[in-house]
Amino acid sequence: MFGYYGIALDFIVILAFISFWISGFKKGMIRSLLYFIGSAISIFIMSISAKYIANLFFDFFLKDFLLKIIETSILNKDTSKMFMNNFPWFIKIIFNIYKVEENSFLGILTDKNNALIKIADLISPKIINALTIICSGLIYITVTTLIRITTRFLVRLFNFPILSGINRFLGGAFGLCKGFCVILCAVYCLKIAMPNFKKTTILSEKNINSSILFKNIYNFDGRKYLSKIIKF
C-alpha cells in the first residue's frame, strides 16, 4: 500500500498540471498573462490605497456625523443601550462584527471631560478597518474589471489563425508555469500543516518519499535556485 500512496500523490500533481495547461491553452497567452498581471496590479493598488481611501471617506463623510451622535448622547445623559441605538444600522453591523457591546461604554459616558475623545478613539479604528475591507473589495473588482475589458479587446487582435495558434500554445506553457507556482504554494501550506497529520495518512513523510513528482516539489527550495541565478 505504501507505493500506491506515492503514485496517488504524483497522479494528483499530474492532473493539476494538465488542468492548468488546458485552462491556459483555452485562454491563450495574452488573456492568461494579462489576467495574471491584472490580479497582481489589483492586489498592489488595493494594498497601497484601500486604507488611505477608507481614512479619507471616514474624515469627510462619517467623522463629524459620528461625533455629533456621541456629543448629543453625552449631553442627554443617555444610557449605554440608548447610546448604541442612536447609531445608524451600518454602524451597528460594524459594532456586532467587532464585538462592541453596551458594556464597552460603561463608565465612559459619565466622564464629562474625556467621554467624547475616549468613545471616538474606541470606535473609529473599527469603523476604518471595516471601510478598508470594503474599499479593498471595490478597488480589486474595479481594477480587475477594467483590465479584463482591455484584455478582451487585445485578444481580438490575435484572432488570426497563425497568431491564434501561437497565442494558445504559449498560453498552455504559461498555464504550466502558473500551475507550478500554485502547486508549490499549496505544498508549502501542507508543509506548515504537516505536524498535524498522523504518520498513517497519505501525506506522511514515508508516502511522500515514495513519490517522484510530489517529492521533488515538496523538497523544492526556491532560495537555492534564486542564489544560482544571482551568481550567474
Per-chain mean pLDDT for the chain? 81
Weakest mean pLDDT among 115-129, 156-170, 195-209: 195-209
Cα-Cα-Cα-Cα dihedral sign, residues 66, 72, 73, 74: positive
At residue 1, the pLDDT reads 46
pLDDT in the model for residue 203: 72
Helix or strand run (H / E) with residue 123: helix 115-156
**Domain-wise residue ranges, the chain:** 2-231
Lowest-confidence region among 49-58, 156-165, 193-202: 193-202
3-state secondary structure 4-43: HHHHHHHHHHHHHHHHHHHHHHHHHHHHHHHHHHHHHHHH
Mean pLDDT of 200-208: 73
What's the confidence (pLDDT) of residue 198? Answer: 52
Q: Is the pLDDT of residue 53 over 90?
A: yes
The DSSP string of 45-92 is HHHHHHHHHHHHHIIIIIHHHHHHHHHHHHHTT--HHHHHHTS-HHHH
Per-residue pLDDT at 18 = 93
**Per-residue pLDDT, 103:** 79
Q: Give the rounded percent of residues in the chain with a pLDDT score beyond 90.
A: 12
pLDDT of residue 143 exceeding 80, the answer is: yes
pLDDT digits (tens, 9 = 90+) for 79-133: 777 888 888 999 889 888 888 887 777 667 666 677 778 888 888 888 998 899 8
- Compute the distance between CA of residue 14 and CA of residue 7 in angstroms, rounded to an integer: 10
